């Protein structure tokens, strides 16, 4: 990859790298997170770019899509080539809905909404997810599915709605499709984290490419310093994101959750420290946290997809179930 990049840009690449090495260094960690978790590399890159490197928020968001279109594509290709299990129906229908969601959001909604407000509300969504994931782990007899065990019009519509909502969030924040779909897959459909994470990585890849093309050809704001950031960091994420995806395949479901808890904790701390909260933002954030936590807990307590039995009309009668025993041990179900 690096050789190809050097062939395209020539010796001028080193000049660009020397000028933007801080961005490239940021994406070393950002690419690992983007390829190996459902949070997305933009969740790491955006606060560092805007608060530490003083990159304007609109440029940071455009860069997020541009760099994810490279890194997450590389991660997705590595996942598919290694035949890592993904929920293909969720990928298809979530992406079909996510693309129009992110295009509409990037062109119409993003210019109207203050980014600090959106970052704060997005952080509250992640905190609500962490609370629900923790409570779900405490449930007795909790078990994980390797695929959505029932697939009817209802499940398809839920994935379409989740995909569109994730696309809308992504268009404003830079990430979101992966987080929203992870919430739906893990909390409601009880999909194993080892399946849900690569599934959301592939979906976020499609949404990132659609958003990047929108910024290039519609918004026409992929210009100036953003291009330099992208040129400097692209070879880094092309290696880092697949590496993150590979690390994820080696982790247990419990370990994946622990990593998410840590990342969400860092996200919350960075938001509280770096985002200038107004009284109105405090009220909106607390309200959002309460509402999203309530929604997540409703999904956790629903047991429609917890049992291995499959309703009539489903084409997944042999869906594999991963049972969770004491101490986090996993063993095949019936």
Distance CA 145, CA 317 (A): 12
Each residue of 118-142: pLDDT tens digit? 778 888 888 888 888 888 877 766 6
Domain residue ranges of the chain, discontinuous segments joined by +: 2-332
Q: 16, 232 in Cβ contact below 8 A?
A: yes
Question: What local confidence, expressed as pLDDT, does residue 213 receive?
Answer: 96
Distance CA 282, CA 227 (A): 35
Q: Which residue has the tokens 């890159």?
A: 45
User: Which ranges of the chain have pLDDT less than 50?
Assistant: 309-334
Question: What local confidence, expressed as pLDDT, does residue 228 receive?
Answer: 92
Distance CA 172, CA 109 (A): 7
3-class DSSP state of 40: coil
Question: What local confidence, expressed as pLDDT, does residue 136 receive?
Answer: 82
CA-closest candidate to residue 122, choices 297, 275, 280: 275
Positive or negative, the CA dihedral 182, 177, 84, 89 is positive
- pTM score, whole prediction: 0.85
Q: 187, 76 in Cβ contact below 8 A?
A: no
Would you list the DSSP string of 87-114? -HHHHHHHHHHHHHHHHHIIIIIGGGS-
Distance CA 24, CA 12 (A): 16
List 191's β-bridge partners, or say none: 145
Distance CA 211, CA 327 (A): 42
Radius of gyration of the chain (CA): 19
Question: What local confidence, expressed as pLDDT, does residue 203 receive?
Answer: 95
Cα 118 to chain centroid, rounded: 16
Tokens, residue 154: 């209802």
Question: What local confidence, expressed as pLDDT, does residue 10 receive?
Answer: 65
CA-closest candidate to residue 71, choices 218, 196, 245, 249: 245
Question: What local confidence, expressed as pLDDT, does residue 141 receive?
Answer: 64
């Amino acid at each position: 990859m690096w050789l190809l990049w050097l062939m395209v840009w020539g010796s001028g690449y080193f000049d660009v790298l020397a000028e933007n090495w801080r961005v490239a260094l940021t994406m070393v960690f950002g690419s690992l997170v983007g390829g190996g978790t459902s949070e997305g590399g933009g969740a790491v890159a955006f606060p560092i770019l805007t608060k530490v490197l003083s990159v304007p928020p609109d440029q940071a968001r455009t860069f997020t899509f541009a760099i994810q279109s490279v890194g997450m594509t590389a991660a997705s290709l590595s996942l598919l080539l290694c035949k890592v299990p993904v929920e293909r129906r969720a990928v298809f229908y979530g992406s079909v809905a996510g693309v129009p969601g992110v295009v509409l959001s990037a062109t119409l909604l993003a210019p109207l909404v203050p980014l600090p407000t959106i970052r704060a509300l997005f952080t509250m969504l992640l905190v609500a997810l962490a609370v629900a994931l923790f409570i779900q782990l405490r449930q007795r007899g909790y078990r994980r599915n390797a695929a959505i065990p029932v697939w009817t019009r209802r499940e398809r519509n839920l994935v379409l709605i989740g995909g569109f909502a994730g696309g809308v969030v992504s268009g404003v924040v830079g990430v979101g499709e992966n987080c929203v779909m992870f919430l739906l897959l893990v909390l409601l459909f009880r999909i194993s984290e080892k399946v849900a994470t690569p599934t959301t990585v592939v979906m976020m890849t499609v949404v990132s490419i659609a958003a990047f093309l929108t910024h290039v050809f519609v918004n026409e704001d992929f210009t100036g310093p953003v291009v330099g950031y992208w040129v400097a960091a692209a070879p880094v994420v092309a290696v880092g994101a697949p590496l993150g995806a590979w690390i994820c395949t080696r982790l247990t479901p419990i370990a994946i959750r622990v990593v998410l808890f840590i990342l969400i904790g860092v996200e919350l701390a960075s938001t509280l420290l770096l985002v200038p909260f107004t009284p109105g933002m405090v009220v909106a954030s607390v309200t959002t946290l309460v509402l999203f936590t309530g929604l997540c807990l409703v999904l956790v307590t629903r047991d429609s997809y917890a049992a291995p039995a499959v309703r009539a009309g489903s084409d997944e009668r042999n869906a594999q179930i991963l049972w969770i025993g004491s101490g986090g041990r996993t063993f095949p179900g019936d």
